[in-house]
A and B are shown apart, each in its own frame.
Chain A
Amino acid sequence: MEPRSLFGKILMHTIIIVLVLIWVVPTLGMLISSFRPASEVLNTGWWTVFKSPLEVTHLTMENYDTVVERAGMGLAFRNTFIIASLGTLIPVTAAALAAFGFSNLNFWGKKIMFGIIIGLIVVPLQMTFIPVLRIYHQIGLSGTFLGVWLAHTAYGLPFAVFMLHNFFSALPRDLFEAAYIDGASVFSTFFRIALPLSVPAIASLVIFQFLWVWNDLLVSLIYLGGTRDVAPLTVRLASLVGSYGQDWHLLTAAAFISIVVPVVVFLGLQRYFVRGILAGSIKS
């Protein structure tokens, strides 16, 4: 190997390692803080544990105990799971069907309808709170999981349709024509050809939508409310802290509990993710 390219490689790797460290250090600090007792978190920085790395007695599970016990994490986890699972499934299913229609079927007003849906991407969701909540209140949907699912579906659909439409449009049309000639209906074309081919795109859409719903605080707070029986993790976590910001040290432990599932989902679907991001970017 030439010395110059070796030097280049070392430089490149150093830069990457530094960048990675910049990203990882805050998370590491949070992880260490989550195991430290309250009085120490408030008085000294997390890096002080490295001064005496062998004294593990400084570390405690107390924060995790308090969070699980006080916040009623089990119930909150269940609620978040109910919200996030269908809050992801409904919009992704609807978006796949809609995107397929927009890209492969011909019907009157298709372009205008597609334009309207894409235009909805730029509507800030905060604008919709009062009118939607008013309707929900009248038909008895406020404070129900169904209401939150529908809200997440509506907020997630425009982007989901847009993304999948680009992907479906990039699939070779000959595939579908061949299927039609063999006598396949529109539905079987969708289920047997379009869907299996679009797994990477759908997987990355699932990650996007799932993370957004999992992390959402505002939509749940408005439509669902913060009472214990329905409140998701994010709402419970926010109320761990007192009105003057007391007890913030508990947030470190709470944050780690809440990121477990998203991390698992991300790692599980990661191999689709990069492929999916490129979905529809090149039209052959």
Chain B
Amino acid sequence: MKKGLTVLLGLCLVVAGSFLYSNVTMAQGQVTVLGVWGGSEEDAFMEMVRPFEEETGIEVLYEGTRDLPTVLTTRIEAGNPPDVVHLTGPGLLRDLLARDAVFDISEFMDMDKFTAEFDETWIDLARGDDDGVYGVFISADLKSLIWYSPPRFEEYGYEIPETWDELMELSDQMVEDGFRPWSIGLESGAASGWPGTDWIEDILLRTAGPEVYDKWIFHEIPWTSPEVKEAFELFGQIARDPNYVYGGPVAVLTMDFGDAADPLFTDPPRALMHRQASFITSFIEDRHPDLVSGEDYDFFPFPPINPEHGNPMMGAADMMSMTNDTPEARALMEYLASAEAQEIWVNKLGKLGVNTEIDPDAYPDELTLRMAETLHEAPEFRFDASDSMPAAVGSGAFWEGILNYVGGDDLDEVLEYIESVAQETY
């Protein structure tokens, strides 16, 4: 027994010793990247940086986790941040700025080239209070889109609505014809409710305008203000009405957002319209491989509501920021900003490019190209508000409020609850 144990312990020490120095993380010629992408997204990212690795000889070590905020804050607090990090919204960037954990890229990047290739919107979104630029956008998702099936619209003689009133008239017409106009799915695991926040954002942006929208993000107007209340009411008109929405509020609450486009493609259709971001195409492709993009499914922009504010577009985007100032990280940031890199990225994932020099042929299909054009032609662009607010509100109380409101709670109570959380947070 004693002998056996000694041998075992000895063996352990040998194994331990041999692995102790086998993986020292930060060597010369490496750059570590932390992001939320997994699966095919991770593959696409590695494909995007491959030319960079070949050209410079710098190895890119990618690490993906969906718990990015937790892992990132822990590593930063411990003094062990990754070199480059993928941020999903300005909210997270402001967090890093407050911790003084992110570096100004305008100090080393060719800013003339940068400002020539990127629209002002995308540079401003990455700007800190000191006017430094703290991130590069590599792609965007357009959220102000309504999906439909062109063959069905043709069959029943429906026209693409140009205004909110026309949209509601069309919805009524569909109800009259015996259809449910809308399909909405709010279920998304621990993040349930977010598709509803997009609805509120799209509506508020069009009823109250971009300026009020910005004030709302920074909590300069309360959640109980009439503008916010109106946006919730317009959303509730659709989502809480069993005549308007497939399956009524119960289905709205329980249907997975990824499944929510399916009712458009059943025969006969269970719903005719679905409001969702550009990335829903990958879900439709997975579920219905036989449908042709642009023919069997297509989009029209979320229509303007108050003509005074025109039709601003709302969306989200992927930003890369530098959390460690090394020559390798600088080189990678420069590469990620280039049209060359972003062409590979949008081609693999069907995301919308941000760099204006991107070759239109890089998009995998005509539908994606049209979405990208819609994004670039938009008179105003606003970042998804819930991703821009502090997490306790934007990805906490707001989500919860949406679910409670659709579930039948009194609107004033819901808004007062979100307001109380907001007052504690800001």
Binding site for B on A (CB under 8 A): 38-39, 42-43, 70, 82, 86, 89-90, 93, 129-130, 133-134, 136-138, 140, 142-146, 149, 188, 191-192, 195-196, 221-222, 225-231, 235, 238-247, 250
Whether the pair B12, A90 counts as a contact (CB closer than 8 A) is yes
Whether the pair A229, B43 counts as a contact (CB closer than 8 A) is no
Query: With the chains together, A142 CA to B66 CA distance in Å?
Result: 21
Whether the pair A144, B15 counts as a contact (CB closer than 8 A) is no
Whether the pair A227, B62 counts as a contact (CB closer than 8 A) is yes
Query: With the chains together, A240 CA to B43 CA distance in Å?
Result: 10
Whether the pair A245, B188 counts as a contact (CB closer than 8 A) is yes
Give residues of chain B (69-123) contacting chain A, Cβ–Cβ below 8 Å: 71, 74-75, 77-80, 88
Shortest distance from the beta carbon of B25 to any chain A beta carbon, whole Å: 4
Q: Which of A149, A231, A245 is B189 in contact with, Cβ under 8 Å?
A: A245
A-B contact pairs, 28 of them (CB 8 A): A42-B286, A70-B43, A82-B19, A86-B15, A129-B74, A130-B74, A134-B77, A134-B78, A136-B78, A145-B23, A149-B16, A188-B2, A191-B2, A192-B2, A195-B5, A222-B71, A222-B75, A225-B32, A227-B62, A230-B23, A240-B38, A242-B39, A243-B66, A243-B88, A244-B258, A246-B39, A246-B41, A250-B39
A230 cross-chain contacts in B, Cβ below 8 A: 23
Q: Which of A146, A188, A226, A246 is B16 in contact with, Cβ under 8 Å?
A: A146
Q: Which residue of A lies closest to B26 (CB)?
A: A143
A243 cross-chain contacts in B, Cβ below 8 A: 36-38, 41, 66, 88
Query: With the chains together, A133 CA to B19 CA distance in Å?
Result: 19
* Size of the chain B interface, CB-CB below 8 angstroms: 48
Whether the pair B286, A39 counts as a contact (CB closer than 8 A) is yes
B77 cross-chain contacts in A, Cβ below 8 A: 130, 133-134
Q: Which of A39, A138, A192, A222 is B74 in contact with, Cβ under 8 Å?
A: A222
Give residues of chain B (16-40) contacting chain A, Cβ–Cβ below 8 Å: 16, 19-20, 23-25, 32, 36-40
Q: Which residue of B lies closest to A132 (CB)?
A: B78
Shortest distance from the beta carbon of B285 to any chain A beta carbon, whole Å: 10
Shortest distance from the beta carbon of A146 to any chain B beta carbon, whole Å: 5
Whether the pair B1, A42 counts as a contact (CB closer than 8 A) is no
- Which 3 A/B pairs are nearest by Cβ-Cβ distance? A133-B78, A239-B38, A143-B25
Q: Mark B247-276, 1 if CB is under 8 A from A, else 0.
A: 000000000001100000000000000000
Whether the pair A145, B20 counts as a contact (CB closer than 8 A) is yes
Interface membership of B42, Cβ < 8 A: yes
Whether the pair B23, A246 counts as a contact (CB closer than 8 A) is no
Query: With the chains together, A129 CA to B77 CA distance in Å?
Result: 10
A227 cross-chain contacts in B, Cβ below 8 A: 25, 32, 61-63
Shortest distance from the beta carbon of A66 to any chain B beta carbon, whole Å: 9
Whether the pair B39, A241 counts as a contact (CB closer than 8 A) is yes
Q: Which of B8, B63, B288 is A226 in contact with, Cβ under 8 Å?
A: B63
Query: With the chains together, A241 CA to B42 CA distance in Å?
Result: 10
Q: Which residue of B lies closest to A141 (CB)?
A: B20
Q: Mark B1-14, 1 if CB is under 8 A from A, else 0.
A: 11001001100100
Q: Which of A136, A192, A241 is B66 in contact with, Cβ under 8 Å?
A: A241
Query: With the chains together, A242 CA to B43 CA distance in Å?
Result: 10
Whether the pair B39, A240 counts as a contact (CB closer than 8 A) is yes
Interface membership of B67, Cβ < 8 A: yes
Q: Which of A89, A196, A221 is B67 in contact with, Cβ under 8 Å?
A: A221
Interface membership of B215, Cβ < 8 A: no
Binding site for A on B (CB under 8 A): 1-2, 5, 8-9, 12, 15-16, 19-20, 23-25, 32, 36-43, 61-67, 71, 74-75, 77-80, 88, 188-189, 258-259, 279, 282-283, 286-289
A241 cross-chain contacts in B, Cβ below 8 A: 38-39, 66
Shortest distance from the beta carbon of B88 to any chain A beta carbon, whole Å: 8
Q: Which residue of A lies closest to B19 (CB)?
A: A145
Shortest distance from the beta carbon of A242 to any chain B beta carbon, whole Å: 4
Whether the pair A245, B258 counts as a contact (CB closer than 8 A) is yes
Shortest distance from the beta carbon of B20 to any chain A beta carbon, whole Å: 5
A70-B39 contact, Cβ under 8 Å, with A225-B25, A227-B61, A238-B66 = yes
Whether the pair B65, A247 counts as a contact (CB closer than 8 A) is no
Q: Which residue of A lies closest to B36 (CB)?
A: A243
Query: With the chains together, A175 CA to B152 CA distance in Å?
Result: 86
Query: With the chains together, A219 CA to B137 CA distance in Å?
Result: 31
A82 cross-chain contacts in B, Cβ below 8 A: 15, 19
- Residue among A82, A246, A247 facing the most chain B CB atoms (10 A cut-off): A246
Whether the pair A133, B74 counts as a contact (CB closer than 8 A) is yes
Whether the pair A244, B279 counts as a contact (CB closer than 8 A) is yes
Query: With the chains together, A143 CA to B287 CA distance in Å?
Result: 39
Whether the pair A43, B287 counts as a contact (CB closer than 8 A) is yes
B32 cross-chain contacts in A, Cβ below 8 A: 225, 227
Query: With the chains together, A226 CA to B38 CA distance in Å?
Result: 11
Query: With the chains together, A184 CA to B37 CA distance in Å?
Result: 60
Whether the pair A229, B79 counts as a contact (CB closer than 8 A) is no
Q: Which residue of B lies closest to A142 (CB)?
A: B80
Q: Which of A42, A130, A242, A247 is B78 in contact with, Cβ under 8 Å?
A: A130
- With A227-B62, A247-B39 already in contact, 10 other A-B pairs whose C-beta atoms are closer than 8 Å: A146-B20, A191-B2, A195-B1, A227-B25, A231-B63, A241-B39, A243-B41, A243-B88, A244-B258, A246-B282
B16 cross-chain contacts in A, Cβ below 8 A: 86, 145-146, 149
Whether the pair B25, A142 counts as a contact (CB closer than 8 A) is yes
Q: Which of B1, B62, B74 is A196 in contact with, Cβ under 8 Å?
A: B1
B282 cross-chain contacts in A, Cβ below 8 A: 246
Shortest distance from the beta carbon of A96 to any chain B beta carbon, whole Å: 10
Q: Which of B9, B78, B189 is A93 in contact with, Cβ under 8 Å?
A: B9
Shortest distance from the beta carbon of B29 to any chain A beta carbon, whole Å: 15
Query: With the chains together, A188 CA to B2 CA distance in Å?
Result: 8
A39 cross-chain contacts in B, Cβ below 8 A: 286-289
Query: With the chains together, A129 CA to B71 CA distance in Å?
Result: 10
- Residue among A130, A188, A231 facing the most chain B CB atoms (10 A cut-off): A130
Q: Which residue of A lies closest to B42 (CB)?
A: A239
Whether the pair B12, A242 counts as a contact (CB closer than 8 A) is no
A133-B23 contact, Cβ under 8 Å, with A142-B80, A246-B40 = no
Shortest distance from the beta carbon of A255 to any chain B beta carbon, whole Å: 15
A93 cross-chain contacts in B, Cβ below 8 A: 9
Shortest distance from the beta carbon of A67 to any chain B beta carbon, whole Å: 10
A136 cross-chain contacts in B, Cβ below 8 A: 78, 80
Query: With the chains together, A191 CA to B188 CA distance in Å?
Result: 54
Query: With the chains together, A282 CA to B61 CA distance in Å?
Result: 53
Shortest distance from the beta carbon of B288 to any chain A beta carbon, whole Å: 8
Query: With the chains together, A238 CA to B38 CA distance in Å?
Result: 8
